[in-house]
Each structure stands twice: as structure tokens, then as C-alpha cells.
Amino acid sequence: MNIDEKYMRLALRLAKRGMGQTSPNPMVGAVIVKWKTIVGRGYHHRAGEPHAEILALRQAGKRACGGTLYLNLEPCNHFGRTPPCTSAILDGGIKRVVAGMKDPNPLVSGRGIRRLRRAGVRVDVGILEKECRELNAPFCKFITSGKPFVILKAAASLDGKIATRSGDARWISGAVSRNYVHRLRQTMDAVMVGIGTVMKDDPLLNVRLPGVRRAGHPLRVIVDSHLRIPLTSRLVRTAGQYPTLVATTKAASSSKMKQMTKAKLAVLVIENDAQGGVNLNALMGELASRGIVSILLEGGSTLNASAIKEGIVDRLLFFIAPMILGGKLAPGIIGGEGTLRIKDAQLVKILKARHIGPDLLIEGAIGKEE
């Protein structure tokens, strides 16, 4: 490992401390090194607060002059909720900047690098770029496509069943896997399910971890084209406690919409798809307009199939439990009609596979991976 990679890995570790807190901003960590000594470090805590570079510069003080700044993302060169970081970098006397990747934001995208270079600062870009892009994959998609980054999560038996033929699904995955999912929920902007899951499981979809504050819970999104969700469901009864949104269509009754609003659920009427259900691509656009950068899809086989078909899924997280359920009527991870030919199958790139307790966690990517 060369010296630049060493300090970039430290910047990445610092950036991860902001996981689940910075949205819709990216996670950024910064390290300032002078004469092989770290004189400043920082990370972006949350949107609206100082950027990582600013915190590192503050810590370094006058020692920053003549030093090298390492950060996983190109510094900004525009006024947003905070002033441009390039100005502070120049004022601090930094002589070299090592950035993991260019900022995909059109407001930045190379402008920060160009300004620094014009001012005589040496700028090197692309150190551990793959790792840097992976860390902020949701932000990269959101800022370039205007759509949220969607992770489809499912727990299944070895033979691919997500429930028994009677609908029993508690619990297929083990306690370690379930705890992992709660930690994952805490890092996401929203958790989404379909009305089928609500009717069968009556989920709560909050984060059940010690010490989680109210602001630490993701937005709960229910896809329900006809507003069949019962008023007695836990999602409705706790809507005043946890942020909750139901996506429906014009087919839903106006009286039920009023009941939802009275119960403190946000109601979002979306155009319907060819089958009369909620148009998922339109829903993604609406959620993005509300600042939702990342979504954990925890639906059943029907919603999973629609999400795959409509191309809104970016990643798969499959928890495979060491059990066999069998049965023609037991639902699988992906429902729908399926493909007729192998050549038409949705291909997945396996990124990781590891044990998590007694289960096997398989992570895959759908679509183009840089």
C-alpha cells in the first residue's frame, strides 16, 4: 500500500462515521498530512453542517499550510447551504489535494479541481476510486439520475421461499441477520413495502436498536394502489410516531384518503401503471423530489417482481437461511410471470457472499457497475 492509499483509506473510514446522517449530501472524510504527520481530520456529520475539509482545516490550523489534503470526494466550488470548500483550502495554504473521485454533481464535477489547479495547488484524482464510488453509490445515482438508490432485501430458505404455504415467515432469517437489517434501516432514507406484506405481516418497519432517536427512523413507504391498508394496522396506528407515506392511485376512495391524512400518514397519488398499480418509476421520481436518496425495499414477491421489471432496483441483499420449506404454494423471492427464456433473464453481478450468523448473505448488483 502506498502512502496516498494509506491516507485515503483513513479518509474513507472517517467518511463512514456520517453514514445515515448526511443525506441528501454524500459521506466525506478528510485528512491533512504534513511531513508524514496527520495534523487535521474531519468528516461531514450531517447536511447543513460544515464539510469534512472545513473541520480538518479547523483542527489543523496554521499547520495546514504546505500540507496535503486527502478526501474521498472532490471539494465543492459553489455556494449551497455552506460556502465553497475550495476557498477555505486555498486560504489554508494547502499545497496538494488528493481526491478519490470527481463529484458527480453537475454543480461541481471538476470545477473544484480546476479552481485549485489554476491557483497552483497540485491535485491528484482517482486514488481508491472504486471504493470511493461504492461508499457514495446512492448519492451518485441520485445526483445523476434524479432517482433514489434502491436495495431489494429478502430473507429466504435454501430453496428460495420467503414464507411457508400458510404464509408463515417468522422467522426465516436468524437473529444476527435481523439485527443487521435494523442497522441497515438506520442508514437508509426510506423503507418500502407493498400492501400484500402489510396485510400478511402487519410490520412496524422502524429501527429497533438501543438508543435510536426519533430522527433516526427512515420514512416508511407503503405501495397501496387502492388504499386497502387497515386503519388498525401498526403502520397506521404509529404514523404519528414514525414518518409514514402511502403511495396510491386515483382508484383509491377519497374518504379513505381523508382517513389516512387524519391518521397522520402522507398520501401521495401516483399515476397507475398498465396493470392499474402504482407506477414505481413515477413514485421514485416523487420520492427523490422529497429528498429521498436511498430506499430499502422489503416487499413480498409481487412488489419485488414489479420493482425488478420496472428497473428501479440497484442492489440485492439476499439472506439465505439453512432450511428447506418446499411446496408449490410457498412464495418465492420474486413473483410475477417470470421469463420464458434463459437469455431474457435479469443478470446479477455477485459482489459479496459471506456468513452472517447461521445464514448466508449474498449481495448483488443489477445494471451497470462502474
**Which residues are designated catalytic?**
53
The pair phi, psi for residue 123, each rounded to 5°, is: -125, 125
Contacts 24+ apart (CB under 8 A), 340-349: 346/308, 348/316
3-state secondary structure of 266: strand
Distance CA 223, CA 192 (A): 7
List the helix and strand counts (H, then E) for the chain.
Answer: 12, 14
The total of other beta-carbon atoms located within 10 Å of residue 250's CB is: 10
Nearest CA to 147 among 266, 273, 305, 314? 314
Contact yes or no for 308/152 (Cβ under 8 A) = yes
Distance CA 185, CA 107 (A): 30
